[in-house]
């Protein structure tokens, strides 16, 4: 979490919650959680990761108001944000929690809260930086992705292919996308020599993205088809150049 919660009702930051547990606790303490659209709840069922941050705060004459931004990364690569309003109706009272799907609803709810007579007609919010959840570069398709990763690594013939650590990580892959990579051309070498480069992008259950780069070529002594796999695009393209130079 970017900023530890300041109210006793929140869990300490040193006990990270899974996305579904975090959502369950948020909805459980919010007085108006039943008003959230069913579609929003359904989308959050496939959350992979989450991040929470203090967005603004106002404290005066025993009254307090804080707003928190909770953002989830979903399996389809999109992000969904809920806004939590925490306030006490009167000095010394227990804090109340409300949750909203957009900032307009949050602002409307905030405007209804009582302010002490000596409160200024403006407030300077305390903003905290939300750790950004990077938007995935790919449109993933849920599939038997862990098995696809296993088969890809198994057919790679290069000795410097990704090792056991990568294979272990990819056991948690649940979606992937394959795209042909273009860019700077590889020297073709002899006539009829063929190269193709593919990116196999995998989405893991913790929201992490891992790409493997597959080189398919016929730069072999007998012209047979060969598959090599590398952990980065640069490494794959360098291998293509080496293979082309060896047979030219």
Residues 6+ apart with CB under 8 A from 153: 161, 162, 166, 167, 170, 212, 229
Co-location of 116 and 167 in the same domain: no
d(CA 108, CA 112): 7
- Predicted pLDDT of residue 51: 82
**What is the number of domains present in the chain?**
2
Domain closes at, from 78, 104, 133: 133
Let me know whether 168 and 106 are in one domain.
no
1 and 124 together in one domain: yes
Give the pLDDT of residue 228: 94
Residues 111 and 154 in one domain: no
| Residue 119 and residue 9 share a domain | yes
Whole-structure pTM value: 0.48
Averages of pLDDT over each 10 residues, the chain, 248 residues: 37 57 90 90 84 80 84 82 89 89 89 61 42 57 86 94 94 88 55 79 84 89 87 92 76
Same domain, 151 and 221: yes
**DSSP string covering 79-145:** EEEEEEEEE-SSTTPPPEEEEESSHHHHHHHHHTS---TT--S-------PPPP-PPPSS--EESSH
Burial of residue 84 (number of CB atoms within 10 Å: 0-12, 13-18, 19+): buried
Residues 33 and 114 both lie in one domain: yes
Q: Are residues 122 and 150 in the same domain?
A: no
1 lies in the same domain as 26: yes
How deeply is 19 buried, as exposed, middle or buried, from its count of CB atoms within 10 A (0-12, 13-18, 19+)?
Answer: buried
Q: According to the model, what pLDDT value does residue 156 have?
A: 94
- Cβ(247)–Cβ(180) below 8 Å: no
Tell me the residue range of the domain where 234 lies: 141-247
Q: How far apart are CA 60 and CA 6, in angstroms?
A: 15
Q: Which of 70, 105, 133 is the last residue of a domain?
A: 133
The last residue of a domain, from among 98, 133, 168: 133
Structure confidence at residue 206 (pLDDT) = 75
pLDDT at residue number 90: 81
102 and 204, same structural domain? no
**pLDDT score, position 60:** 74
């Amino acid at each position: 979490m970017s900023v530890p919660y300041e109210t006793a009702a929140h869990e300490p930051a040193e006990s990270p919650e899974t996305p579904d547990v975090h959502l369950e606790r948020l909805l459980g303490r919010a007085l108006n959680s039943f008003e959230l659209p069913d579609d929003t709840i359904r989308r959050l069922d496939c959350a992979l990761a989450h991040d929470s941050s203090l967005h603004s705060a106002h404290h005066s004459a025993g009254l307090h108001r804080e707003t928190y931004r909770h953002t989830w990364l979903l399996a389809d690569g999109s992000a969904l944000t809920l806004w939590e309003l925490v306030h006490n109706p009167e000095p010394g009272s227990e804090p109340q929690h409300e949750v909203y799907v957009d900032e307009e609803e949050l602002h409307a709810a905030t405007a209804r809260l009582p302010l002490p007579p000596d409160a200024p007609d403006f407030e300077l919010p305390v903003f905290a930086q939300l750790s950004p959840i990077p938007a995935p570069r790919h449109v993933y398709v849920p599939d038997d992705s862990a098995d696809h990763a296993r088969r890809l690594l198994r057919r790679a013939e290069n000795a410097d292919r990704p090792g056991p650590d990568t294979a272990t990580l990819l056991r948690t892959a649940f979606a992937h996308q394959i795209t042909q990579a273009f860019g700077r051309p590889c020297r073709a070498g002899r006539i009829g020599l063929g190269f193709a480069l593919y990116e196999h992008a995998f989405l893991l259950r913790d929201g992490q993205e891992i790409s493997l780069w597959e080189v398919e070529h016929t730069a072999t002594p007998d012209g047979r088809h060969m598959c090599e796999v590398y952990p980065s695009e640069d490494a794959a393209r360098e291998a293509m150049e080496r293979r082309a130079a060896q047979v030219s």
